[in-house]
Structure formats: structure tokens, C-alpha cells
Amino acid sequence: MEGEILYDGEPLTRERQEKLRGREIALIPQGVICLDPLMKVGPQLWKGKKDPETRRQFREALARYGLGPETEDLYPFELSGGMARRVLIASAAAERPRLIVADEPTPGLDTGTARRILGHFRELADEGAAVLLITHDLELALEVADRVSVFYQGESVEEITPEEFRRPETLEHPFTRALWQAMQEEGGAGWS
């Protein structure tokens, strides 16, 4: 692979990534195994900071995702898969980054919880953050996205709005049309 990524109009070099990661740019990883199994959740969230403001900030983030302060005293193996996923989301969102890259943030969550979390992403976007949602759950993504980029065989083949996706005559690429058709066959709500 090759190419260049611009962030705020400047190349996102390795050095710049290291300065921005966890501050301006946050990643919600696909796998919950990113939590250190030998460390309780709280210290992982606080990232070495012990001041009361940091703890308050992360407790608010945990509460936003339906987790109480007792979560801080648990080890990752004591969390359900859905709880671990919400801990990762809270960790990324707590410091109000300018860019959140969410890689498959909803697997293992029930539909109501997934909708609530994507609603929180929508709120963060409305407050000025950019949210890059990478997902196979197109139906949920269409509920909150401003733009949808459809990938086929590793390449972006079409970028559309959710409204355009609802009108098959506006879809240009055969793969995008096939996605629309598959949603119709699965009974996607509101897609006809």
C-alpha cells in the first residue's frame, strides 16, 4: 500500500500521528482484546493520570455508555463483550477528540445499544468532531451518517448520502445497487 493521508491539510506523518493519537485522533479498535488483561479498566482509561478531573471525565464517559463507576475496578475478563466494547468507546470519546476512527464498534451489542452508541457518535459529530465509522452494518450506519463510502475489493467505488442510497435510481456502481437490493430482500425498514 502506498499513499498519503492529510489531516488538517498537512501530511499525517508517523511523528505527527504519535503526537495526535489519543488526543486529537482516537481509535475505537475492532477487537476488544486491545484492553490489557492484567490491568483494571480504570487505570487503562486514565492513561497514567490520577487527578480528580480525569477520573470525573472518564466516569461521565462510562455513564454515557451505560456503565457505572464500578466498571473501573474490573479486569477486562470480568466484562461481557458488549461491556468491553463500550469501555473502548468511552475511552476514545472521553477526551473529545477531533477525529474518531470507529472500526466495527457495534458487533456483540444488541440493536438498541448499538443505536444508542451510534446516536452518541452523531452527537459528537454535531459538536464538531469527525467520525469515521467503518462497518458492515449498513442499515445502522445509514441512520446516522452524513456520507457513505462504499468499498468493493479494497477500493472506494461510490460516495453517496443516506438519502441517495434510499433511491436506487441514484446509485451508480453495480455493487452499491446490489447492497440496496440485498437490504430490500432482508426487509430493511423504510428502504422501499
pTM over 0.85: no
pLDDT at 187: 67
| DSSP structure string for 26-40 | EEE-S-GGGS-TTS-
- Reported confidence tier of residue 2, pLDDT bands at 50, 70, 90: confident
Whether 189 has a pLDDT exceeding 60, the answer reads no
pLDDT at 81: 85
CB 140 within 8 A of CB 118: yes
CB 150 within 8 A of CB 175: yes
The full set of domain ranges for the chain reads: 6-146
Whether 111 has a pLDDT exceeding 80, the answer reads yes
CB 61 within 8 A of CB 97: no
In the chain, % of residues over pLDDT 90: 49
Whether 108 has a pLDDT exceeding 80, the answer reads no
The whole-chain average pLDDT of the chain stands at 88
Q: Tell me the per-residue pLDDT of 80-89, one tens digit each, with 9 for 90 and over.
A: 988 998 899 8
pLDDT at 67: 94
The amino acid present at 45, given as its one-letter code, is L
Q: Tell me the per-residue pLDDT of 116-165, one tens digit each, with 9 for 90 and over.
A: 888 888 988 998 999 999 998 888 889 999 999 999 998 999 999 999 99
pLDDT at 192: 44
Q: In terms of C-beta density within 10 A (0-12 exposed, 13-18 middle, 19 or more buried), how is residue 41 classed? A: buried
In the chain, % of residues over pLDDT 70: 96
Of 41, 48, 73, 46, nearest to 57 by C-alpha is: 46
> Which cell numbers hold the place of 50?
490520577
| DSSP structure string for 38-69 | TS-HHHHHHTT--SHHHHHHHHHHHHHTT--G
Whether 7 has a pLDDT exceeding 50, the answer reads yes
**Average pLDDT, integer, range 51-68:** 90
* CATH topology assigned to domain 6-146: Rossmann fold (3.40.50)
Q: Tell me the per-residue pLDDT of 14-42, one tens digit each, with 9 for 90 and over.
A: 999 999 988 899 998 888 888 999 999 99
**Average pLDDT, integer, range 187-191:** 54
Instruction: Report the sign of the C-alpha dihedral through residues 8, 12, 16, 18, in that order.
Output: positive
Whether 68 has a pLDDT exceeding 50, the answer reads yes
